[in-house]
A and B are shown apart, each in its own frame.
Chain A
């Protein structure tokens, strides 16, 4: 099995761009799709990116996803930061046993 490692927290100012990384411990990041979920305090998760870089309808194009095989990581980039983007963000992939694997989550502070 593998783990997904995310930074515990990141912070940035409104209007700026922030990137949250998600590094896979073993096996290729490109082997299995990566999803990104946003969870605001007291709310259910919301899918921001699926299948590495696809945005569900209704998700602003300020949110983008990518993978980098050289660092074996996925990234969520949020541009034009807004205070409403302040939330926990989780990456997720799946293993060979068809089980989802979540990162521990990254707390984004927009200050």
Chain B
């Protein structure tokens, strides 16, 4: 069965960096687009970034553009999110999600999330 397991969250000071990982299993990882979506405490879902199945295209929300980088290693079935220059408003539960297709239409499977807290 499809499994997505996020890791790498934690408490970090403003301005510092953090790298999240999402280990995928149960499907052909290299055939699907992958997304990061976050949810601040008590708030709704906010899309963060997408990477196409082969890594050829990446797109970002305006709120993270220039600070976050999405990447994937298809040989390791793993998705990454490198987060630099973190701000208090980046505090959220970060989910990885598999796209229904190779690019960026919508999600079909979601991980359980990893919590990022940006605080001094």
A94 surroundings in chain B (CB, below 8 A): 104-106
- Residues B25-81 near A (CB distance < 8 A): 35, 37, 44-47, 50, 57, 59-61
Closest beta carbon of chain A to B66's beta carbon, Å: 15
Closest beta carbon of chain B to A65's beta carbon, Å: 11
Contact (A97, B105) CB under 8 Å given A90-B45, A102-B47: no
A98/B57 in contact, CB under 8 A: yes
Inter-chain contact total with CB atoms closer than 8 Å: 75
B59 surroundings in chain A (CB, below 8 A): 97-99
| Other-chain residue from A35, A92, A100 in contact with B50 (beta carbon distance below 8 A) | A100
Task: Give the residue name and chain of the A residue nearest to B44 (CB).
Answer: A105
B110/A46 in contact, CB under 8 A: yes
In the complex, what distance in Å separates the CA atom of A104 from the CA atom of B43? 9
- Residues A72-93 near B (CB distance < 8 A): 88, 90, 92-93
| Other-chain residue from B35, B57, B106 in contact with A51 (beta carbon distance below 8 A) | B106
Contact (A105, B108) CB under 8 Å given A51-B100, A100-B35: no
In the complex, what distance in Å separates the CA atom of A100 from the CA atom of B64? 14
B105/A51 in contact, CB under 8 A: yes
B105/A44 in contact, CB under 8 A: no
B-to-A contact residues, CB < 8 Å: 35, 37, 44-47, 50, 57, 59-61, 95, 97, 100, 103-113
